[in-house]
Amino acid sequence: MSGFGFEVLARSRRARLGRLATTHGSVRTPAFMPVGTQATVKAVTPQELRQAGAEIVLSNTYHLSLRPGHDLIRELGGLHRFMGWDGPLLTDSGGFQVFSLAELRRIEEQGVRFRSHLDGSEHLLTPEKSMEIQAALGSDIVMAFDECPPAGATREEVAGAVERTTRWALRSREAYTGPGTLFVQGGVHRDLRERCAAELVREGFPGYAIGGVSVGEPQPAMLETVRHAAELLPAERPRYLMGVGTPLDLVESVACGVDMFDCVMPTRNARNGSLFTSLGRVNIKRAEYARDERALDPACSCETCTRYSRAYLRHLFQAREILGARLNTIHNLTYFLGLMQALREAIESDSFAAFRDAFVDAQRGEEEEDAP
Amino acid sequence: MSGFGFEVLARSRRARLGRLATTHGSVRTPAFMPVGTQATVKAVTPQELRQAGAEIVLSNTYHLSLRPGHDLIRELGGLHRFMGWDGPLLTDSGGFQVFSLAELRRIEEQGVRFRSHLDGSEHLLTPEKSMEIQAALGSDIVMAFDECPPAGATREEVAGAVERTTRWALRSREAYTGPGTLFVQGGVHRDLRERCAAELVREGFPGYAIGGVSVGEPQPAMLETVRHAAELLPAERPRYLMGVGTPLDLVESVACGVDMFDCVMPTRNARNGSLFTSLGRVNIKRAEYARDERALDPACSCETCTRYSRAYLRHLFQAREILGARLNTIHNLTYFLGLMQALREAIESDSFAAFRDAFVDAQRGEEEEDAP
């Protein structure tokens, strides 16, 4: 756990301003982590990530272990060097990916058997194997291997998954010998989450993730879960809400005391032409933008907004040009990371409540405008 | 023809060092023009083009007239502003694209009827229409509308095409009222090319293009045509060899006195993983590069070669990541544009013959190594 630390620097209501220290530098929280699934955040360079405001990147154990292989990355000096990102890296455990992507998955106490979505080859992912992969990658923040029950799972199934996740967290800690630090994640149902959190907190991990949310439930239900989960976790440890979410989700979760987020939304939506701006969402393929000379977001200072028009972005999207994916990604990341910066400033000046109210109002106004 | 000029500054054997002046700045020749078919050189920004050494970009009349439409681009201030490239732009006539891409094309004296490859809509491209489109785009160098006979055309068919191209060149000149300057292009067969060149030279155009080569004929035959064609053209005018070619083609054509080139080879090959280096071609998908920590080209100072390994480029290619297309394109353009710079320096120091001999030897050595 060399070099790891977390400090809460300020509070505004339940929202926390903090600093996460790793051997590859520190991260200001609340932090958003762009997702670099295959050792690249799709369409952008590490320099562009820095420019957009990224301080930490997430990458995926499942994908990298299958291609190009974690042994290869270790031989080449680790993931930081391989992808040219010298800042902090967090890797997921592979659990969620195995459950959502792989074929023929079968859960055993030992781990999960699955077939690769790339070539159908059979693999066994265990807590020990997940730790070996994440250590080979040289990750700064390593996630304990978890079982991720599907959205429609019964209470009994979730209970089984929670217990197994707890056992697997301890096996993960036992097995991990890499240079990074280990986070754990918990389950869904209120009482089960309480039991899970109590056990994991008693065991004392460096950081805690809230998993099993944002799997299709309505936003109020998700926020209720997040609020409850955050209360169960120790105040002096970072809280990481996995796979979340929309800008509004981020603001509301920061309000619950969450410190870290990751989501493919800014990058995936960018490639689909769905752009986040200070004036609301822009679906760049719409005909109304064909002759629109304005910057995508007049309040944004990213390369995309300072150099190109909405008309050009629409043309690139319609013509399926790679440059369109690039420029859209740069903008969406700048928007998400700029929102985190604004949240940090609001907490520092103890004006978070006002910021949140204004943001929620603006989002509501936008939704009403979008309505038919 | 405001702002246009061409000056030959030095000669080394038949190779010429020159300067082309346009209202958007000057271009050192011999020059290679990256191809920006749809108002973007695929995968890269204008800033990256500059960084790679590009001084002029080619764009396509056919594509832009269909999408987003030349009227739209004119309304938005022209192609330079639309795509964010403030340097010189050359546009082709649309002739070659209509013949190679469109469906149901029918040649009439008036022009060419065709159906769009995008939506099947019917269009008529005439010399007058081509000029209207290129003027709307605000091109700096405009190409006269030509008939481009297919590779297997009979002598009679080529003769008809040459005569029509000559008539269309005069109609193009008559019709063109834009801010740029007009180049013409000629045919294939030796005597027909002589007749075509004689007529067009007598008419006196600002620049001359050699078309109808590089359509599948062996390299010696192509170079024989280029050598012959270059001799037919006035020494004081720029000579543009359309759609050529490999690095060796460029060197050998400069040896014939050609001043300007365009080709999709560096950009298209980049996206296919075929990379040009000082050590020879690299097919980056090959397994031998999977663990290769070296820079793609140790002699290259581009972003790709200074920041990333061959192993990483191979992984990006295998994983079909957009960043791979970007980094490969940046390198290949840097290689092609760096070769042009080396050619210019060799001409300036009157050491072109030695440069050419060394280059041809190196290419031969490479071909032998590639042989089975």
The domain boundary, picked from A237, A263, A289, lies at A263
Residue B173 falls within a domain, yes or no?
yes
How, if at all, do strands B112-115 and B122-125 pair?
Answer: antiparallel
User: B245, B263, B281: which is the final residue of a domain?
Assistant: B263
- Shared domain for B246 and B335, answered yes or no, is no
Domain containing residue A208: 5-263
Please give the C-alpha separations between residue A84 and each of A39, A45, A134, B306, in angstroms, as whole numbers. Answer: 9, 8, 17, 10
pLDDT at A265 over 60: yes
Interval A62-75 mean pLDDT: 97
Evaluate whether residue A154 is within a structural domain.
yes
Residue A371 domain flag: no
Compute the average pLDDT of residues A253-263.
Answer: 97
Q: Per-residue pLDDT tens for A126-161?
A: 999 999 999 999 999 999 998 888 777 888 988 898
Supply the pLDDT for residue A221.
86
Question: Residue B1 pLDDT > 50, yes or no?
Answer: no
Using alpha carbons, list the distances in angstroms from residue A111 to A13, A89, A123, A164, B98: 41, 25, 10, 10, 59
Average pLDDT over residues B242-263: 96
**Tokens of residue B137, six digits:** 């785009």
Evaluate if residue A370 carries a pLDDT over 60: no
Is residue B372 predicted with pLDDT exceeding 60? no
Average pLDDT over residues B253-264: 97
pLDDT reported for residue A368:
57
Q: Tell me the whole-structure pTM to 2 decimals.
A: 0.95
Per-residue pLDDT of B97-126, as tens digits, reads 888 887 778 999 999 999 998 999 999 999
Question: In total, how many domains does chain A have?
Answer: 2
- Do residue B40 and residue A309 have CB atoms under 8 angstroms apart? no
Last residue in a domain, options A235, A263, A291: A263
Q: What letter represents residue A239's amino acid?
A: R
Q: Which of B44, B75, B322 sits opposite A43 (nearest CB)?
A: B322
Identify all chain A residues contacting B118, using CB atoms and an 8 Å cutoff: none
Q: List the single residue in B40, B67, B321 with the smallest CB-CB distance to A40.
A: B321
Same domain assignment for residues A143 and A82: yes
Contact A319 B38 (CB under 8 A): yes
Q: Using one digit for the tens of pLDDT, what is the confidence trace for B291-340?
A: 999 999 999 999 999 999 999 999 999 999 999 999 999 999 999 999 99
Whether A372 is covered by a domain: the verdict is no
Residues A194 and A302 in one domain: no
Which of A163-167, B102-106, B138-142, B368-372 has the lowest average pLDDT? Answer: B368-372
Looking at residue A144, which CATH number applies to its domain? 3.20.20.105
Q: B328 and B191 share a domain?
A: no
Residue B191 lies in a domain: yes
Q: What residue has token string 């754990």?
A: A184
For residues B88 and B229, membership in a common domain is answered with yes
For residue range A33-58, what is the model confidence (pLDDT) as tens digits?
A: 999 999 999 999 999 999 999 999 99
Q: Do residues B212 and B283 both lie within one domain?
A: no
What is the rounded average pLDDT of the residues A226-230? 93
Q: Where residue B371 falls among pLDDT bands split at 50, 70, 90?
A: very low
Q: What pLDDT shows up at residue B368?
A: 57
Single-letter code of the amino acid located at B362: A
pLDDT higher than 90, residue A187: no
List Cβ neighbours of A11 (8 Å cut-off, separation of 6 or more).
A17, A347
**Is B279 found in the same domain as B233?**
no
Residue A262 annotated as catalytic: yes
Please answer yes or no on whether B45 and A76 come within 8 Å at the CB atom: no
- Average pLDDT of the segment spanning B185-207: 84
pLDDT of residue A218: 82
Q: Are residues B55 and B186 in the same domain?
A: yes
Within this chain, do residues A350 and A204 fall inside the same structural domain, yes or no? no
Assigned domain for B366 exists: no
* Residue A369, domain member (yes or no): no
- What are B153's two structure tokens? 């055309």
Q: What is the model's pLDDT at position A372?
A: 44
Q: Are residues A55 and A118 in the same domain?
A: yes
Cβ-based contacts of B67 with chain A (< 8 Å): 315, 318-319
pLDDT over threshold 70, residue B48: yes
Same domain, yes or no, for A210 and A302? no
The verdict on A180 and A213 lying in the same domain is yes
Mean pLDDT for chain B overall: 93
Is there a contact between B284 and B295 (Cβ–Cβ < 8 Å)?
Answer: no
